[in-house]
Copies of this chain bind each other. A is one copy, B any other.
């Protein structure tokens, strides 16, 4: 089993991005029996997906887990669905700020994650790690990559994929009073457990109920 795990570079005034920092750590540390490939995507609407597509063509992974930073959240978020829209509050790292543009004009309105998100949330909480299902990955580069990734999956039978949002690191939150954070050690444990649960669980276990509203 070959696993591709991606993070992003820093954006929005931050100098670090916990997604790439934690993906790097996971790829260096949990190599026992797993064929893990880590990569950093640029936080750019255009280049991010081009890079991801290239990585998938090169490595032909069985499982792809894209990871991004969701500043302000307090838990590991297993994203349920990617939507076909770019709507950027701030420009991306290439200076592009699409407003209400479809990602693929002829694409589906949305794609669901093919990770066992409920089983993963259950596994993380059982290990004492705050985790939740999220029904929105936003409309910035994270959702863009998530949508593009699932769009690619249509043509690659057997490849499963999904998106995980992680909180700020404590050193980021130290500059943003009132903002939750999560330690790197816990992020690394979480991402490792996500990989293992995804490999162990074929279909979702429906272990818990839904979210708000």
A residues touching B (Cβ–Cβ < 8 Å)? 68, 70-72, 74-75, 80-81, 83-90, 97, 99-100, 108-112, 118, 124-125, 127-133, 135-140, 142-143, 165, 169-171, 173-175, 177-183, 185-186, 204, 206, 209-213
Contact = CB atoms under 8 A, between A and B. Distances in A.
A131 B171 CA distance: 11
A14 to B, nearest CB: 13
A59 to B, nearest CB: 26
B142 A213 contact: yes
A99 B80 CA distance: 13
11 contacts: A74-B74, A74-B173, A83-B110, A87-B210, A109-B109, A109-B111, A129-B171, A129-B174, A130-B173, A130-B181, A170-B183
A69 to B, nearest CB: 8
Grouping DSSP codes into helix (H, G, I), strand (E, B) and loop, the A interface class, with mixed when no group exceeds half, is loop
Which are the 9 A-B pairs with shortest beta-carbon distances? A138-B213, A87-B210, A128-B171, A110-B110, A180-B180, A183-B183, A109-B110, A136-B136, A135-B136
A179 to B, nearest CB: 6
Contacts of A139: 135, 210-211, 213
Contacts of A169: 128
What is the oligomeric copy number?
4
A89 B210 contact: yes
Nearest to A91: B209
Nearest to A99: B206
Contacts of A83: 80-81, 110, 112, 135
A128 B75 contact: no
A175 to B, nearest CB: 7
Nearest to A169: B128
Contacts of A175: 125
Most buried by B among A72, A131, A170: A170
A110 B89 contact: no
B112 A85 contact: yes
A91 B128 CA distance: 27
